[in-house]
Structure 1
C-alpha cells in the first residue's frame, strides 16, 4: 500500500474575508513530512482544527506577497515560540519576504526559542527549491500582479516491492532484501540464477501535487504540469466575471479546467473563490464541462493525491 500523500485544505477563499471561507492555506502530508502552502490570516487556528501536529510542520512555501497568502505567518511563528518549539522552521518565498519577516520576528517575538530559516525563491524560474531523499519541491513561475510562483511537490520513485512468496520459496534471507530491491538477482545453493524480476513487484507510481495559486490564465502552463497527479488551480471567478479575471490577473474555473485537461492530470481541485459567489457549484459545473474529474475544495476537506 502506498504511503499517505494528503492535502488538507485550511482555507480556499480569496482576499475579502467572509464567514464561509478562510483565505489561502494548505497542509500537505507526504512521506512522513508536513509542508505548508501559503499561510493566510487565521491559519494557525485552522491547523489546530485539522489535527496535524504543529511540531511536524517543517517547511512553509509562500507563493506571493499578497496578504491573503502570508498574513498568518508571523502569528503562527509566534505561537510556535509560545509552545516551546525548538526545531528549525524553513520558510521559502519571494526574495522581498526575507527582510520583512526578519523585521517582524525582531519586533513581535522575544526569545523565540527556534530558528526561522528563509530561502529566497526566484519566481521567474522553474527550479528545485527543496529536496531530500524522498521528495522534491519545485517552483512554477506564474503571472499575477506581483511576483508569484506555484509549487510542485513530487515523490521520488520508490523501490519495488519484495515478493514474499518467492523469498520463502527460495529461502532467501532477510539480509538480502535491500540488495534485491536494488536490482540484484539471487543465486541458489545449486547455482541457479533467479532473475530479479521474479523476486519483486513493480513499485508504486510516484505521485505529484501541483499548487497553482493566483495567476491569470496561462495557455502554455500545462506544459509545466506534465505528470502531475492532482492539480490545485485557482478559480477565483466564473466566465460571467471574465472582465475581473483579466483585470486582476486571476483565472476562471473553466480556464483552470483547460489547464488540467491539457496537462493530463488525474484530478483537479478548485479554490480561491471570489466572495461574490455564495454557492460555488456554478464554478464546479463550469469546470466539469471541460474536465470531469473536478472537485471543489472546502475548509477541513482532505484529498488524497
Structure 2
C-alpha cells in the first residue's frame, strides 16, 4: 500500500504548497482522492501516467478539494483517453462538470461515470475482487465524506515445507490456498492448517478530510492500518476550529487513539503557522505513531 501526497494544505494554492489531493495505490489499484487546483501539475511532477487513474473520489464540494477536476478531465480528453472515468462525489458534481463542459464547448471522447453521493450513512461505493471502498460520513459546513479503502483478505499461503513432506501434487495447490483439506492416495485426510499459513494481513486506509472532531466515525475506522485525518489548526486555535468545523492536531490524535489506528498522518494545515512540525509535536502528546503529510511526499506501508 503506497500513498503519494500531491497537496495537503488548507484553503488556497500558494507558491510552494498545494490544496488537497493524493494518490493511493492498493492491491495494484490506483485511486485519486480529492482534486484541488494543481493536481495534474503535481501528477506530472511525480511522473504518474494519467491513464492509470480510473477512479476519483471527492470528499466535498469546497473548491480546495475539487477545483482541479475539470482541468484533469479536459487534459484526459486532449490526451485521447478512451477509458471510462468514474467520479465518486457529492450530488451536484455532475451538474457542475456538465455546465463547464457545455459552456466551453468541450466534450470528452471517453465516458464520465458519475456516482453522486448523498447518504448520511456509511455505504459501499466501490468493490472489486481485491478492494472495497466505503464512505465515512463527516461533520463539516457542507455535506462531506471521508473514504475507507480496505484490502480484501487474500488466499491462504502454501507452507512449502509441509507440502513437500506430504508429497502433495501441484494440482492441489489452489485447493489448499482456497482453504480446503486434502485427501492423500492412501486415504489420509490432511487438514488445511497443516499445509498452509494464514493470508497476509489485509491493510486499510482511512481518508478523513475536512471535519470537526467527530467520534461517530470511530466504529467505522476501528483498527485501521493508516488514518489520514485533517489537522487544520493547533489547539491554541480550538475556538476557530469549532467555528469553521475543522479539527486540531490534538483532536486528530484523539480519534486515532480511540480508533486504535496503527499510524496517523496529519494534513490540511492552515498556513498561519511557521512550521508543520508543530502539528506533529502536538499530536504526539496523545498518539505516538504520527507522520506529517507534505506535498510530494511518499509513504509505503508494510506492516
Q: Which residue of 150, 155, 164 maps to 2:151?
A: 155
Query: Where does residue 203 of structure 2 map in the other structure?
Result: 207
The 5 Å alignment of 1:18-57 reads: 18-57=14-53
Relative to structure 1, the CA distance from residue 19 to residue 55 in structure 2 (aligned partners, 3 Å threshold; closer, same or farther) is same
Query: Where does residue 54 of structure 2 map in the other structure?
Result: 58
Q: Deviations over 1:163-218 (max 9, x none)?
A: 12222333322222221111222222222222111111111111110000000111
For 1:175 and 1:103, the matched residues in 2 are separated by: 57
Question: Are the aligned partners of 1:13 and 1:272 in contact in 2 as well (CA < 8 Å)?
Answer: yes
Structure 2 alignment gaps of length 5 or more:
none
Shift of 1:77: 0.8
For 1:264 and 1:161, the matched residues in 2 are separated by: 27
The 5 Å alignment of 1:82-121 reads: 82-108=78-104, 110-121=106-117
Query: Where does residue 269 of structure 2 map in the other structure?
Result: 273
For 1:123 and 1:276, the matched residues in 2 are separated by: 34
Question: Are the aligned partners of 2:223 and 2:262 in contact in 1 as well (CA < 8 Å)?
Answer: no
Shift of 1:123: 4.7
For 1:99 and 1:110, the matched residues in 2 are separated by: 15
Query: Where does residue 75 of structure 1 map in the other structure?
Result: 71
Q: Which residue of 238, 244, 253 maps to 1:248?
A: 244
Question: Are the aligned partners of 1:123 and 1:140 in contact in 2 as well (CA < 8 Å)?
Answer: no
Question: Are the aligned partners of 1:150 and 1:211 in contact in 2 as well (CA < 8 Å)?
Answer: yes
The 5 Å alignment of 1:217-228 reads: 217-228=213-224
For 2:16 and 2:247, the matched residues in 1 are separated by: 21
Relative to structure 1, the CA distance from residue 109 to residue 159 in structure 2 (aligned partners, 3 Å threshold; closer, same or farther) is farther
TM-score w.r.t. structure 2 length? 0.96
For 1:107 and 1:89, the matched residues in 2 are separated by: 21
Question: Are the aligned partners of 2:101 and 2:107 in contact in 1 as well (CA < 8 Å)?
Answer: no
Q: 1:27 is paired with a residue of what secondary structure?
A: strand
For 1:200 and 1:120, the matched residues in 2 are separated by: 43
Shifted more, 254-263 versus 160-169: the winner is 160-169
Q: 2:54 is paired with a residue of what secondary structure?
A: strand
For 1:301 and 1:249, the matched residues in 2 are separated by: 27
Query: Where does residue 304 of structure 1 map in the other structure?
Result: 300
Structure 1 alignment gaps of length 5 or more:
none
Query: Where does residue 133 of structure 1 map in the other structure?
Result: 129
For 2:42 and 2:13, the matched residues in 1 are separated by: 15
Q: 2:6 is paired with a residue of what secondary structure?
A: strand
Shift of 1:6: 0.9
For 2:76 and 2:170, the matched residues in 1 are separated by: 43
Aligned length: 301
| Aligned-residue CA RMSD (Å) | 1.3
Query: Where does residue 15 of structure 1 map in the other structure?
Result: 11
TM-score w.r.t. structure 1 length? 0.95
Q: 1:211 is paired with a residue of what secondary structure?
A: strand
Q: 1:63 is paired with a residue of what secondary structure?
A: coil
Q: 1:224 is paired with a residue of what secondary structure?
A: helix
